[in-house]
Amino acid sequence: MFRRLLVAAAWLAVSAVAAPPLSTIQDVLYKADGARFNGTLTIAWNSFQPADSTAIVASGSTVVTVTNGYLQVQLVPSTSAIPVATYNVTYTSNGRVQFREVWAVPATTQILKVHDVRISSAAAGSSSSTTGSSADTGSSTTPIPESQVIGLIADLGARPVKGPNFAAGAVAMVDGSGMLAAVTGNASDCVHVDGSSGNCGWSSASFVDGDTLSGLVDGNNATFGLSATPTPSNSLALYRNGVMQKLTQDYTLSGSTITFLTASTPQPGDTLLASYRVPSTATAPTSTANAPQVLCSGTGASTTSTTLAAIGTCTIGAGVLLAGDRVQIQFDLAHQNSTGGFSAEVHWGATTVFHRDATSTETLVTGRVDAAILASGAQTSSQTWGTVLSFGTTAGSAPDSYASGLTITLQGLVGQATDSLTANNFTVVRIP
What pLDDT digit, counting tens, does each position of 42-97 carry?
Answer: 999 988 888 776 777 678 899 999 999 999 999 999 888 877 889 999 999 988 98
CA gap 385, 356 in Å, rounded: 10
In CATH terms, the fold of domain 19-148 is: Immunoglobulin-like (2.60.40)
Residue-averaged pLDDT of the chain: 84
Q: Do residues 426 and 403 make contact, with C-beta atoms less than 8 angstroms apart?
A: no
- pLDDT above 70 (res 131): no
Q: Do residues 220 and 267 make contact, with C-beta atoms less than 8 angstroms apart?
A: no
- pLDDT above 60 (res 119): yes
Q: Do residues 148 and 119 make contact, with C-beta atoms less than 8 angstroms apart?
A: yes
Tens digits of per-residue pLDDT, 243-290? 999 999 999 999 999 999 999 999 988 888 999 988 765 554 544 445
Q: Which of 96, 144, 98 is nearest to 120 (CA)?
A: 144
Q: Which of 71, 140, 49 is nearest to 102 (CA)?
A: 140
Q: Do residues 124 and 100 make contact, with C-beta atoms less than 8 angstroms apart?
A: yes
CA gap 150, 154 in Å, rounded: 9
Q: Where are the domains of the chain?
A: 19-148, 205-279, 293-431
Tens digits of per-residue pLDDT, 319-343? 788 888 999 999 999 999 989 999 9
Q: What is the band of 127 on the pLDDT scale with cuts at 50, 70, 90? A: very low
- Helix then strand then coil, in percent of the chain rounded to 5, is 10, 45, 45
Q: What angle do CA 14, 17, 20 make, to 5 degrees?
A: 130
Global model pTM greater than 0.75: no
CA gap 203, 199 in Å, rounded: 10
CA gap 50, 9 in Å, rounded: 26
- pLDDT above 70 (res 22): yes
Span 293-431 CATH architecture: Sandwich (2.60)
Paired residues of 357 in beta bridges: 343
